[in-house]
Amino acid sequence: MPSLNQRQVDRLSAMGIDVWVSRGGVGVADEPRVRLSSGEGSWLLVQRQPWRGQFESLLTDITATIGLAECRFGQWANSQDAGVGLSELASRGIRCVVSFGPLPPSEREAGSSISGTRVIEVPTMQAIYDEPAARLALWQGLRSGL
């Protein structure tokens, strides 16, 4: 059975439902987590699905704007037990996270700084490819971090 985060435990407690919780496991990892893949730069480009290359020319433009050597890639983790938490990214040299699509649910807000790492939420790659307004939002978001 998956472990509960602190919000879930608090909700159950408010309903009068007792929950047994291991002392070390609640609340520590209640933040979005990323599975890091390729690259070594200070910018992390992350989305929910794996990077498959279907938007290669768009991604080439994005990485050219940031600087190819500055880009890393990752995927949002589906579990609090996988990947690296946002608060741990600065210690790995990542200063800016660009999330293609919304961040996974948590108490963190896009556009804020988390332990030295800035988070910029932009539209999904599909939306950026299809919609001029989404492309504008992408470039405005990138500009705010450059």
Express each pLDDT in 21-72 by its tens digit. Answer: 554 444 444 788 999 998 889 999 999 988 888 899 999 999 999 999 999 9
What pTM did the predictor assign?
0.74
At a CB cut-off of 8 Å and minimum separation 6, what does 107 contact? 7, 30, 31
Q: What is the pLDDT of residues 64-115, one digit of tens each?
A: 999 999 999 999 998 878 889 988 999 999 999 999 999 887 645 555 566 6
Residue/partner pairs of 68-71 with CB below 8 Å, 24 or more apart: 68/41, 69/40, 69/41, 70/41, 70/42, 70/43, 71/39, 71/41, 71/43, 71/44, 71/45
Q: Report whether 39 contacts 72 (CB < 8 A).
A: yes
Phi and psi of 22, rounded to 5°?
A: -60, 140
In degrees, rounded to 5, the angle at the alpha carbon of residue 79 between the alpha carbons of residues 77 and 82 is 65
